[in-house]
Structure 1
Amino acid sequence: MTFSTPSPEQWRESAVKALKDRPIEGLLHLDTDHLVVRPLYADATGIQPLFAPRPSDAEGRAWDLRTQVEGDDPEAVNAAVLTDLEGGAASVILSGAVLADSEPLAEALANVALELAAVGLDAGLDGPEAANALAVVAKGSPRAKLMFHMDPLSAYAAAGGSPLPIAMHLSQAAATADRHSGAYPDASFFLASGRAVHEAGGSAGQELGFTAAAVAAYAKAAVDAGLSAERALRGTVLGVSVDAEYFDSLAKVRALRLIWASITKAFGLDMPAAIEARSSRRMLAARDPWPNLLRLTAAGFAGAVGGADAVVLDGFTRASGRPDAFARRQARNTQIVLMEEAHLGRVDDPAAGSWFLDARTRDLAEAGWAEFQRIEREGGVVASLKGGAIQMRVAASRQTLKTAFDKGHSQIIGVTKFVDPDVRPAPVEPSALAPAAAITDSCAPLLPLRFAAAFEEAGQ
């Protein structure tokens, strides 16, 4: 049976009739990047198709199931790492006091085959020291898949400063990359991420623009340290946040791939992006953590369908503290279900061909590129942070999003809607607060927030 395809004019007539006396313009939605989200997308509206697949084998494991293990006790970290790898993870990211030196790090990575399981670091401004420790641990394994993940810009922006001048932290990270590039040809060095912008309430375009500006800053520092532009970019992983708004999140991942193509083209290069998607923390609830499982599933779906090369899902109890073994298992198993039961990786770029998602991808890519150019006109990401321009734009986005929750235009399940009066407890692991580092080179911090926090505090 053949169904007729209504034209946009016919749809408009039906919409006007259904709306009665309300204006059809009320169906348009303006987001925090001032991009218009329309009620109808169709071939007749002139949407250009896009194809932005991840460069991986859809017949195998299409993306890297990556977990995060935090801890100060090497023995406990090692047990958690081995449990994750034996339970289906392909790679891990480590944070905590185990990164302080090669001896505790070696103990934490005992019996881990570094040529098979990639190991990454989350060490903030101490990234070069942690990278050196990991390089010592991997000695004798030249094909080790090390991910140093040095990202001093994000740490500087989130903390509101650094112990040394941030330019020196950049130089140290670049020199560390140059020092280990020959010994570990499969290693990646930098994590260029806009997650600090996202967690502070920034828009998708602002996050993408910050990421692009970080790529430029790290590439320049690496070239100044002696690396080629090709090796510097090949050693850069792009970090992006994904949350329960899965359409926008997956479009953001695809948009980042387009932005990367433009950046590498400017260097006269053509290489695939390596994108690591991490679940958002600003979307999580603390009082009732169980609906976070749904939010994290949606985030994992967005990362997988959007084409991320690696996906990292937080524990559902993250808003209350460090996730315990049960929460880490749920985070790991969520991805396994998406990968091996939902088969989300069996199609390359499944969003391609959707008029809405292709249009949204292009819109976000253009918004991210515009923000990148704005940051560069302000003197680059460091100058823009020191001048407070990035922070001002993020603050405006944060206020817009908070207002939407305050007025009920946006809802948080379990917090502002469908609130469970009798919440089951969910334990977390104790964690020691890291001592605050001395700050000599300061900027206004991009402080993280949780949108649920204000409602949870008001309901106490």
Structure 2
Amino acid sequence: MTSDGLVLAGEHPAATREQWRELVAGVLRKSGAVPDDQAVEALLASRTYDGIEIAPLYTADDAAPGAGLPGLPPYTRGARPDGHVRGGWDVRQRHADPATTGAAVLADLENGVTSLWLVAGASGIPVGRIADVLADVHLDLAPVTLDAGAEFADAAAELLRVHAEKGVPAAETRGSLGADPIGHQARTAADPDLAAVAALAADAAEYPNLRVITVDGLPYHDAGGSDAQELGAAVAAGVAYLRVLTDAGLDAAHAARLLEFRFAATADQFLTIAKLRAARRLWARVAEVSGFAVPQRQHAVTATAMLSRRDPWVNMLRATLGCFGAGVGGADAVTVLPFDAAIGLPDAFARRIARNTQSVLLEESRLAGVIDPAGGSWYVERLTDDLARAAWAWFTEIERAGGIVSALRSGLVADRLAATWAARQDNLAHRRDALTGVSEFPNLAEKPVERAPAPAAPSGGLPVHRYAEDFEDLRDRADRALAATGARPRVFLATLGPVAAHTARATFAANLFQAGGIETPDAGAADAATAAERFAASGARIACLCASDKIYAEHAADAIAALRAAGASTVLLAGKPSDEYEVDGFVFTGCDALGVLRRIHDDLGVSA
């Protein structure tokens, strides 16, 4: 077919950005949201925690540097020329329980998992138990990646001993010894033993397909950091390891082949895709100036920060999005954490769902059947470039501070991550960042999921956060009050007028209050007197008016007076703040929901 034989949408006149602006502005003006002189893009744009603007529309005018070709520098489009087409990515599952790992490992390997991630040492499987866990594993078929914290040298020696006992030739030994004293420093503030890393690399010289070091970006993500902060810190750690290894006599290319990078994959699929593409580009730049061309090997893990303990079933959906983003982004290995991982040790059902998530994407969705499926998307290419530039700026700042080890010691990294976490907390508190099942659409009747406690994770360094933690703290307080008194804290919804007039605001208010574990009995279709009477019978001490603006104008004053006369210690109103109403506060879209809920808990004497 000739080049002019088929024109996409050729039967339609070409559309322009100006036409789009006019149409969108017309719709927005009808709602009163857009002044005539305000640009539509500015109004509809959002920003990431790195300050990157996400526009509402991307076209060919949104230029980004050429991404190159898969398998060639800068590796933005993938480390391999065939992408994942041959066999897909490595399905890697995490295990940390010394009591059940042996059986769980075999169940995983028999049902789609292709490699193992073993947490060893004080936070997981004792080093002396590694042989027991791997007793029935064919190590020539199932590579093992270790994660042993400060005990990385002992764990590595034990793993290699097990390989030798099983008769696995050195040339067929794969996986990673997982040494990462810098990551351990980030988690614990312990000084890193970098000399031991060089010694381990020397000891592993006879294993050509074995990686030695994990460059872990998860501590920075878990501390509430942004995507660029995670990338920049990881690249800085990777450079630090390159220096250690080359100082010990290895050439740069050989040293780079000993590294594997670990990144968080979140429910924001586009940022995950762009992050992994940007990470390969960043490392390719390091390789270029260092005189080698070895692509970055990536292990993506669904983020623990996004996991909730409340309504944990939603975590299955978050993990699916994270896994999708990791696969499209070109990760070499992917770990989907079980949906109950934030609660304790995952059970067999949770592990099964985690591995089946990957199986569905690989085998049924055929996600690995296309090389760099996001390549060429104006949005993804621009986002990749913006993220790479933001991460490079942070990496160079760390380097100017003396490198990642010094930046961790001085508090530079901690301070920067804390600032990002504070901004994220503010968005979470105001529900600009929604948490389904937690801050939005909570289910007070859900049965708690109980699990055996997991081994304590390393601590003492960067903090570990989950986005749901503040709302879940309030839910825990409310549950303790229920257990102690037989009743939850409650806010009575004084719903005025017919159902159609109050449903929208009553639903909004109930959703908000229930995010704090607070019951919300309501008055039904009522006038001011009836609402006050039903409030008095409810046993509540706090009331929230819910109605339309028209009904507020006519009846709010009478309702407020009636509710106070009926014993309401606090009267709130669902709607935008206004001086017209003598109430104690307002609940509305964009309000500080967390602050409102904390005040209600305090007013009702719900103990922390």
- Asked whether the two chains share a fold, i.e. TM above 0.5, the reply is yes
What is aligned with 1:45?
Answer: 62
What is aligned with 1:175?
Answer: 199
What is aligned with 1:258?
Answer: 281
Compared with structure 1, are the counterparts of its residues 96 and 179 closer, same or farther at alpha carbon in structure 2 (3 Å cutoff)? closer
Aligned-pair CA distance for 1:217? 0.7
| 1:280-318 per-position Cα deviation (integer Å, ceiling 9, x unaligned) | 011011022111110011111111111100000111001
| Residue type at the aligned position of 2:24 | A
Rounded to whole Å, the distance in 2 between the matches of 1:314 and 1:100 is 21
What is aligned with 1:441?
Answer: none
> Which residue of 398, 404, 429 maps to 1:375?
398
> Which residue of 331, 340, 344 maps to 1:321?
344
Contact 2:83 2:330 in 1 (8 A): no
| Residue type at the aligned position of 2:22 | E
Matched residue SS, 2:461: coil
Contact 1:305 1:350 in 2 (8 A): yes
Contact 2:62 2:378 in 1 (8 A): no
What is aligned with 1:440?
Answer: none
> Which residue of 109, 112, 116 maps to 2:134?
109
Alignment of 1:39-438 (within 5 A): 39-51=56-68, 52-55=77-80, 58-73=84-99, 76-97=100-121, 100-101=126-127, 103-139=128-164, 140-141=167-168, 142=170, 143-159=172-188, 161-162=189-190, 165-166=191-192, 169-182=193-206, 184-433=207-456
Relative contact order higher in (CA < 8 Å, ≥ 6 apart):
1
Rounded to whole Å, the distance in 2 between the matches of 1:54 and 1:373 is 24
Rounded to whole Å, the distance in 1 between the matches of 2:86 and 2:47 is 39
Rounded to whole Å, the distance in 1 between the matches of 2:313 and 2:239 is 40
Contact 2:50 2:228 in 1 (8 A): yes
| 1:328-370 per-position Cα deviation (integer Å, ceiling 9, x unaligned) | 1111111001110011000010000110011001111111111
Aligned-pair CA distance for 1:47? 4.1
What is aligned with 2:546?
Answer: none
Matched residue SS, 2:204: helix
Matched residue SS, 2:260: strand
> Which residue of 437, 452, 472 maps to 1:456?
472
| Residue type at the aligned position of 2:234 | T
1:14 aligns with 2:62: no
What is aligned with 2:512?
Answer: none
Compared with structure 1, are the counterparts of its residues 417 and 62 closer, same or farther at alpha carbon in structure 2 (3 Å cutoff)? same
Rounded to whole Å, the distance in 2 between the matches of 1:230 and 1:59 is 26
1:36 aligns with 2:61: no
Contact 1:283 1:452 in 2 (8 A): yes
1:447 aligns with 2:463: yes
Rounded to whole Å, the distance in 2 between the matches of 1:57 and 1:242 is 19
Name whichever of 108-117 and 292-301 sits farther off: 108-117
Contact 2:84 2:330 in 1 (8 A): no
What are the ranges of 5 or more consecutive residues in structure 1 without an aligned counterpart? 438-443
| 1:26-48 per-position Cα deviation (integer Å, ceiling 9, x unaligned) | 22222211111111110133344
Aligned-pair CA distance for 1:59? 3.4
Contact 2:252 2:291 in 1 (8 A): no
Contact 2:120 2:155 in 1 (8 A): no
Aligned-pair CA distance for 1:99? 5.1
Contact 1:384 1:390 in 2 (8 A): yes
Which protein is bigger by CA-based radius of gyration?
2
Aligned-pair CA distance for 1:265? 1.1
Name whichever of 375-384 and 399-408 sits farther off: 399-408
Contact 1:178 1:222 in 2 (8 A): no
Matched residue SS, 2:376: coil
Task: Tell me the TM-score normalized by structure 1.
Answer: 0.92
Aligned-pair CA distance for 1:117? 1.1
Contact 1:250 1:306 in 2 (8 A): yes
Q: CA RMSD in A?
A: 1.8
| Residue type at the aligned position of 2:199 | A
What are the ranges of 5 or more consecutive residues in structure 2 without an aligned counterpart? 1-8, 69-76, 479-608
Contact 2:252 2:290 in 1 (8 A): yes
Matched residue SS, 1:43: coil
| 1:389-432 per-position Cα deviation (integer Å, ceiling 9, x unaligned) | 11111111111111111112110000011112221443423444
Aligned-pair CA distance for 1:447? 0.6
Rounded to whole Å, the distance in 2 between the matches of 1:89 and 1:35 is 36
Rounded to whole Å, the distance in 1 between the matches of 2:215 and 2:184 is 11
| Residue type at the aligned position of 2:93 | T
Rounded to whole Å, the distance in 2 between the matches of 1:215 and 1:234 is 11
Contact 2:97 2:125 in 1 (8 A): no
Rounded to whole Å, the distance in 1 between the matches of 2:155 and 2:120 is 10
Matched residue SS, 2:279: helix
Contact 1:324 1:429 in 2 (8 A): no
Matched residue SS, 2:61: helix
Rounded to whole Å, the distance in 2 between the matches of 1:331 and 1:193 is 21
